[in-house]
């Protein structure tokens, strides 16, 4: 079972990376990069490296990809008019969203019935950060402020460019 998961997530990461390299649209390339990053997190989970999977999702798939998407939206090419999508693409997107929503509801129903460990304590965000990042919790919090400041700077620069 573990080998199948490793092959699946490895193949998905490799496919997303190859498609990303040959993609001409920067937004689509960023989305394929996100797929590759999430597949890598899946690999880490399959190999029982939960901390690496959490860091992969939090730092790369979350923070760094947010910065990439904001940077891409302030590019001059992003303000061009895009051709409207055909009906098949819209229906396919809605169907994929419905499948994802159904799966999320199933997972949340399973997690509601999950039994918590006896040593589980509600320690808040700081306790969770200490559990995840150890002695580097402060540095990760500082990194989130730096990323937030860079996003605000990118949006400010884009707003000034649009006014001029």
Res 138 pLDDT > 80:
no
Instruction: Decide which of 11 and 164 is more confident.
Output: 11
DSSP string, the chain: -HHHHHHHHHHHHHHHHHHHHT--SHHHHHHHHHHHHHHHHHHHHHTT-HHHHHHIIIIIIIIIHHHHHHHHHTSGGGGSPPPPPPHHHHHHHHHHHHHHHHHHHHHHHHHHTPPPPTT----HHHHHHHHHHGGGHHHHHHHHHHHHHHHHHHHHHHHHHHH-
pTM of this prediction exceeds 0.85: no
pLDDT digits (tens, 9 = 90+) for 88-108: 887 887 888 888 888 878 877
Instruction: Decide which of 16 and 81 is more confident.
Output: 16
pLDDT band at 148, cuts 50/70/90? Answer: confident
């Amino acid at each position: 079972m573990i080998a199948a998961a490793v092959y699946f997530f490895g193949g998905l990461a490799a496919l997303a990376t190859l498609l990303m390299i040959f993609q001409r649209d920067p937004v689509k390339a960023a989305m394929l990069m996100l797929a590759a990053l999430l597949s890598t997190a899946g690999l880490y989970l399959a190999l029982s490296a939960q901390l690496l999977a959490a860091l992969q999702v939090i730092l790369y798939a979350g923070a760094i990809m947010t910065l990439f998407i904001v940077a891409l939206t302030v590019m001059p090419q992003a303000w061009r008019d895009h051709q409207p999508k055909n009906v098949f693409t819209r229906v396919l997107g809605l169907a994929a969203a419905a499948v994802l929503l159904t799966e999320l509801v199933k997972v949340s129903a399973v997690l509601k019935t999950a039994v918590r460990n006896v040593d589980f304590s509600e320690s808040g965000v700081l306790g969770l950060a200490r559990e995840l990042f150890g002695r580097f919790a402060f540095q990760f919090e500082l990194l989130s402020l730096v990323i937030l400041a860079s996003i605000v700077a990118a949006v400010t620069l884009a707003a000034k460019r649009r006014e001029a």
